[in-house]
Structure 1
Amino acid sequence: MSIKGVRLLTGRILIVAFEGWNDATEAATGALKALSEQISGQILEAVDPEDYYDFQFSRPIAEYDDDGQRFLNWPTTELLQASPEKAKAQPRLQEIFLLLGTEPSRRWITFAAEVMEMVQDREIDHVIMLGAMLADVPHSRPVPFFKSSQNKAFQELNNLEPSSYEGPVGILAVLAQAFEADNIPVMSLWASVPHYVHNTSNPKAALGFLNQLEALTGIQFDGSSLVEEASEWERSIDEVSESDEELSSYIEQLETSRDAMDSEQASGDSIARELEKYLKSRPESPEAGKA
């Protein structure tokens, strides 16, 4: 679903995605990881994992570097920017920053304050929050996206609706509130992904995010690394459904319903309702938000 009626965002832009509660099938973080790789993202700052993560919940991962040395990759949140070489080839990348990490387990208020310092130091003009939710959508159709903003000026300028959701929230909402309190306009961009394919990453949705970011920023992003993965992902689900009559019938119903949505407004309203239903159904972490 293409973004219409939204003016190109100019100035310094921060794009945000977190693994965990806000990121069904790793669609949002998958997009930012692909983007970071193609711009040779360099870490500008990172939070101290000891301050914000429960390592029994978000465990460090043992890995090997290019020299064969074993190391531990700790959960954290990093602020990244394109390498000088990439920025020289595409100057607009100098104004793009990525905030990528794992949703913290505790001290969310302090975490938000630390992230705000990073953002203020870079004089960010706009923030785009990426999130993904499980919904009743077919894997065989374009990924639906829903955009919103709580900033009134941003709403009027870009024909955006505010979110009417009430209920449990993730770290994206906490950070968005902090940004807005500092007069930094925030746009939330959510993807709906098939709930019947929830145990694997979704490269099709990640590719969709890159396309949406191109439309919002006017910057060309290379999604070629995800195209083949997305095609294989869709093909593998087709093969499974062909041998499962019940699943195949269900997918056909979703396709019929999706095809009947012949207006962007109807699609947006439906996705907004799905988002509210999804967030309200998510279990709350007993540690979430403790400061």
Structure 2
Amino acid sequence: MLDPSELYEVADDLPELGRPVLVEALTGVVDAGGAVRLAGQHLLSTLEHRLVVTFDVDQLLDYRSRRPAMIFLEDHWEHYEEPVLGLYALNDSAGTAFLLLCGPEPDLQWKRFTAAVRTVMARLGIRVTVGLNAIPMAVPHTRPCGMTAHATRPGLVTGYEPWLRRVQVPGSAGHLLEYELGRDGRDAMGFAAHVPHYLSQTDYPEAAETLLTALSKATGLLLPLDELRTAAAAVRDNVNQQLEDGAEAAALVQALEEQYDAFMRGRESTNLPAATTGPLPTADELGAALERFLAEQAEPGGPPTP
């Protein structure tokens, strides 16, 4: 492995951080509803911050798979949207310092990247790392946004019931970082918001709000959430209005609600989930039908937006 220390640059005048929390919000392949991106953007737009560590994206990104945007104006290239992968120092609403690792998830050199991050963490005295994720699930938007929590030791995520038992999933650089921190005996945890899979291709700020609420509860950070709550309500109203125009789609949402409610009742007791009045469509059938309906409704003006 190439030297991890050559993969990043640290600012000369680091602020006083104490023993801060590090929030990992890398945007990769699975970011249902853009929730991780929205959460990172929200923190940077509402809190004071400065870039303290910059990673060499040329070593880490596959530009052919994720091409940065460029603007062409009449007869020349006006702007290049240069990708930035870095560590930002922020202060929460009470002035407590914490760090945010955000930008595009590395496509290449994961082991070298995680080694570099762990070296930086040791230098900056990180006490705990919290990763943010969002996954598509067969859940209705009319129910509270669910959450899957995981950690390097159970005491970090007490109070969260598991949604999954044992499952094999594609890895990510953020999950690899948490895994390696666990092997080192370091505290790290992660939260994955459950986004209705028929809305996973559009911005879903309720999931971003859910992630930051979980982050706040787990770490004590005071984070501003009003803007996300307002955006989440606007998206819900938009989707509900579209569903009012389609009886079949409304029936499909109701079927998802019945599945969700039965599952939740089953989790609260030792019995199997309560039986419903009749056979329900599968989650894939429900999701496909709702996706078709919402796509048809959104064609003139694009997908539902806040």
Of 115, 119, 122, which residue of structure 1 is paired with 2:121? 119
2-structure distance, mates of 1:184, 1:97: 17
2-structure distance, mates of 1:197, 1:147: 21
Change (3 A) 1:140 1:90: same
Counterparts of residues 77-96 of structure 1 (less than 5 Å): 77-82=85-90, 86=91, 90-92=94-96, 94=97, 96=98
1:40 paired to 2:42:
no
1:200 paired to 2:202:
yes
**Which protein has greater RCO, CA pairs closer than 8 Å, 6+ apart?**
1
What residue in structure 2 maps to residue 217 of structure 1? 219
How far does the alpha carbon of each residue in 1:173-223 deviate from its partner, in whole angstroms, 9 at most, with x for none? 211123223332111211110111122111111111122122112222111
What residue in structure 2 maps to residue 99 of structure 1? 101
Shift of 1:232: 1.1
Counterparts of residues 128-139 of structure 1 (less than 5 Å): 128-139=130-141
Of 227, 230, 236, which residue of structure 2 is paired with 1:228? 230
TM-score normalized by structure 2? Answer: 0.72
1-structure distance, mates of 2:78, 2:181: 38
Letter of the 1:55 partner, please give it. Y
What residue in structure 1 maps to residue 111 of structure 2? 109
1:13 paired to 2:15:
no
2-structure distance, mates of 1:118, 1:22: 26
1-structure distance, mates of 2:126, 2:240: 43
The CA RMSD over aligned residues, in Å, is: 2.9
Letter of the 2:145 partner, please give it. V
Q: Is the 8 A contact 1:59 1:74 kept in 2?
A: no
Change (3 A) 1:16 1:63: farther
Shift of 1:138: 0.8
2-structure distance, mates of 1:189, 1:98: 15
What residue in structure 2 maps to residue 155 of structure 1? 154
Larger mean Cα displacement after TM superposition, 179-188 or 51-60 = 179-188
Q: Calculate percent identity across the aligned residue pairs.
A: 24
What residue in structure 1 maps to residue 304 of structure 2? none
What count of residue pairs does the alignment treat as equivalent?
A: 247
Of 250, 253, 256, which residue of structure 2 is paired with 1:251? 253
TM-score normalized by structure 1? Answer: 0.75
1-structure distance, mates of 2:82, 2:265: 46
Shift of 1:102: 1.0
Letter of the 2:154 partner, please give it. Q
Q: Is the 8 A contact 1:241 1:247 kept in 2?
A: yes
Gaps of 5+ in 2: 1-17, 274-282, 285-306
Of 11, 26, 38, which residue of structure 1 is paired with 2:34? 26
How far does the alpha carbon of each residue in 1:113-162 deviate from its partner, in whole angstroms, 9 at most, with x for none? 2222221221111111111110111112210011112x2xx314653789
